Chain A
């Protein structure tokens, strides 16, 4: 339970926000998108050799039950997986990570002003038409300070003009917020500043429409029979703690593109059981992002099930962070010594075993830069592994601080089999290479987070996944006043670089600032010690096709189908 539980927590956080979108976004894309009736870009139609299986029931497992199916309240990757089957935003992400028309059949972009033209044939599962009012209603519901409970992800809508002010109660008239219903099928959205990835955001669940009947019913999303949705599938069965089942929605405008008749989800939180079940043919897919293949079994399934084993890099970084305010890691040289003396290749090859990439920077591959991936434009060569150098640095650092012996050091991690293995391996490398004894301590997730956020640690495990496809999502968290800066970094230069990047429209300069900021974070201060860039590891039956995975690991099953087998 341990391992799955906390991994799941990790995944939840990591992916939840993560899926927030990859909008591709070239700034000059003022054109309107083409009519989206033809969703043939994905694997929907294929060569005639492929024969569909008669029974189009997909069987998958979620390692945790989504706490809610109310798009306004959701905040985890499990909910994301299920909500994606039940709802449809203005746009949806296609296989290439580009937004394509969904509930909106086209849109016009003019700087910060977006005009969405809604599809006239889109219907709710009860037959009502999906209108611009439904979107405005849903967004007002997310932002309203009177919504009970307060939607935690309301800040995902802060890109919209006056949304934050309305949410914080500073203005009380929703008409002042940049959302305007022009007519039933036209929605105008005004943003605070140019946001290249906004179209991608509209495919995120916090932006989904909800049926206006939910206003008077607090429990509408608790009961399968009450849910009215606009997506390809409807919720037909939800036995708490056991199973969730969604069935094809015949009222969905694009039902011809949907081949699955049903998705049946079990709720088992044991990686080993899930894998055994997959091997037994009880599941069609297992592993990330909704579960996990146990590390111990990765090398074996990689051999045994070569064709079913899928590894894909995702935009997410695994790292250890130093508390810059606690001894002995308040000393830069000591931090560097520790960071330089672990063998990252050995960790990914022998410990994590999942084809992860050793990391020497913070922004992971897969995140867009100016013309290419950011990581290709700015190499992650901020430091190298060098034990001799590290020993020297450690000695110097100790001299600076006047230590004859280092204070006792504890490495904290949240309870999980995988984190434990890495922590033990790293502590052992520190002992062997630097001769330093480091205690490892696992903490229960909530305790761990609390300690980390209160700077009550020395060195701690951490991971971060993209909220959107831009280096900013990795770098603005380390500014002095960021709520997520839990290493105690206070660097005026860093803050300045990030602020500039936030306001400038010059992409090259933006990139340059990101580069400099990352240099400060990793090369100069070594406040965080990158270990590896995550991968998404899954097993997929050869007859399962059309599953799409986005840059940060979010999964879309709606266009999947099963071949005869």
Chain B
């Protein structure tokens, strides 16, 4: 959004890159600068390790991911349950040794379903975040690097896209297309990448007037080299942070879509659709809501805390 760009608007400078003329290429000089970022990375890592909250969040996230991958396997192996088989004689059973998280309204084991749901939610979250990252970096990088007319047009386009009510696009899209995991991810990314592109654009615009870039350019580095070797590596901090925060956003959005009946196709479940299924009877079968809600909340929490920690670590000045 506008304000993002306003914030990172380049400080006025009399020297524009165009004022310089290419003289010749000197690879060695260019590489000297790259070294600095290595120590910055190490520095960031140390700072992150020192942040106990962030590390705890990371560990819990790791556990959730492992459980999402192996939980269903273990349960299938120990009890022989899977996420879709009904057991109509054992519907809505509370947690027990047999069913660690109880059973749902069709007698399906909640342990398997919760972790299977976490799997789906994480896939949705990560896939959406990756696509956002890819499009956002390319689009934002182009805008920021070339600036001028290109930037103006591309930026307007993203602004227009951003002003289309998101819910509307999503609902229309999901109704038009066959509901599937892919469609949901697509629906989530259709406007999701814009924020990323703005952040990348802002960073690049700020960076491209910095001395080291000017130096590299004056020594004859090409656009591609400048962009990928100098600009993007230096913008990686905010990019990573944005990714960490967009994963939980996507998971949440999917949960909302489930609430509106536009989520994943049964019997596959996401955490969101499980909570939605449990919502009408949760007073009587609290475990059906509790476990998926706890996992989704914990995931959100950890992604947010970790994202914050990462931001602090990568940009010690910008303690937001």
Contacts and interface: CB of A to CB of B under 8 A. Distances in A.
Contact of A297 (B84, B174, B267, B284): B284
Given A1-B260, A425-B106, A417 B280 contact: yes
Interface string B86-124: 101101000000000000011100000000000000000
A442 B285 contact: no
Contacts of A420: 266
A296 B105 contact: yes
A5 interface: yes
A54 interface: no
Interface in B246-275: 259-262, 265-267
Contacts of A300: 281, 284
B266 A296 contact: no
A423 B259 CA distance: 19
Given A295-B105, A351-B106, A428 B86 contact: yes
A182 interface: no
A426 to B, nearest CB: 10
Contacts of B105: 295-296, 351, 421
Contacts of B277: 417
B223 interface: no
A428 B284 contact: no
Contacts of A1: 259-261
Interface in A1-41: 1-3, 5-6
B265 A441 contact: yes
Contact of A442 (B89, B265, B281, B284): B265
Contact of B266 (A442, A446, A447): A442
Contacts of A3: 261
Contacts, number: 75
B294 interface: no
B237 to A, nearest CB: 40
A528 to B, nearest CB: 23
A513 interface: no
Interface residues of B, number: 27
B267 A424 contact: yes
A2 B260 contact: yes
A444 interface: yes
B46 interface: no
A5 B261 contact: yes
A427 B88 CA distance: 13
A142 B117 CA distance: 52
A535 B77 CA distance: 41
Nearest to B280: A294
B222 interface: no
Contact of A296 (B107, B175, B262, B285): B285
Given A424-B86, A425-B88, A428-B84, A440 B265 contact: yes
B182 interface: no
Nearest to A294: B280
A356 to B, nearest CB: 15
Nearest to B180: A441
A192 interface: no
Contact of B280 (A272, A432, A441): A272
B287 to A, nearest CB: 13
A424 B105 CA distance: 11
A271 B266 CA distance: 21
A345 B211 CA distance: 78
B279 interface: yes
Contacts of A429: 86
Nearest to B260: A1
B281 A350 contact: no
Interface in B184-235: none
A115 interface: no
Nearest to A5: B261
B179 interface: yes
A296 B284 contact: yes
Interface SS of chain B: helix, strand, loop or mixed? loop
B56 interface: no
A354 to B, nearest CB: 14
Given A297-B280, A351-B106, A440 B267 contact: yes
A351 B88 contact: yes
A53 interface: no
B85 interface: yes
A297 B281 contact: yes
A5 B259 CA distance: 12
B3 to A, nearest CB: 33
Interface in A437-455: 440-444, 446-447
Nearest to A270: B280
B255 to A, nearest CB: 13
Contacts of B86: 424-425, 428-429
A56 to B, nearest CB: 32
Contacts of B88: 346, 350-351, 425
A420 B105 CA distance: 11
A2 B280 contact: no
Interface in A162-179: none
Nearest to A441: B265
Nearest to A444: B175
Contacts of B266: 420, 423-424, 440, 442
B91 A350 contact: yes
B113 to A, nearest CB: 12
Interface in A399-448: 415-417, 420-421, 423-425, 427-429, 432, 440-444, 446-447
Contacts of A432: 85
A245 B89 CA distance: 45
A351 B107 CA distance: 10
A367 B85 CA distance: 38
A451 B179 CA distance: 14
B106 A415 contact: no
Interface in A316-360: 346, 350-351
A300 B286 CA distance: 14
Contacts of A296: 105, 280-281, 284-285
A2 B179 CA distance: 14
Contact of B106 (A294, A297, A424, A442): A424
A457 B28 CA distance: 66
Interface string B169-185: 00000110011000000
Nearest to B277: A417
Contacts of A271: 280
A1 B258 CA distance: 10
B267 A272 contact: no
Interface string B21-46: 00000000000000000000000000
Nearest to B284: A300
Nearest to B175: A444
B261 A415 contact: yes
A6 B174 CA distance: 16
A415 B267 CA distance: 13
A209 to B, nearest CB: 40
Contacts of A5: 261
A165 to B, nearest CB: 39
Contacts of A272: 279-280
Contacts of B260: 1-2
B267 A294 contact: no
Contacts of B107: 350
Contacts of B285: 296
A443 B107 CA distance: 24
8 contacts: A2-B276, A3-B261, A295-B280, A421-B105, A424-B106, A427-B267, A429-B86, A442-B265
Given A1-B261, A440-B265, 12 more contacts: A2-B260, A6-B261, A272-B280, A295-B105, A346-B88, A350-B88, A415-B261, A416-B261, A427-B267, A428-B106, A442-B266, A443-B179
Interface of B: 84-86, 88-89, 91, 105-107, 174-175, 178-179, 259-262, 265-267, 276-277, 279-281, 284-285
| Closest 9 pairs (CB-CB, A-B) | A2-B261, A296-B281, A294-B280, A350-B88, A428-B86, A272-B280, A415-B261, A296-B280, A444-B175
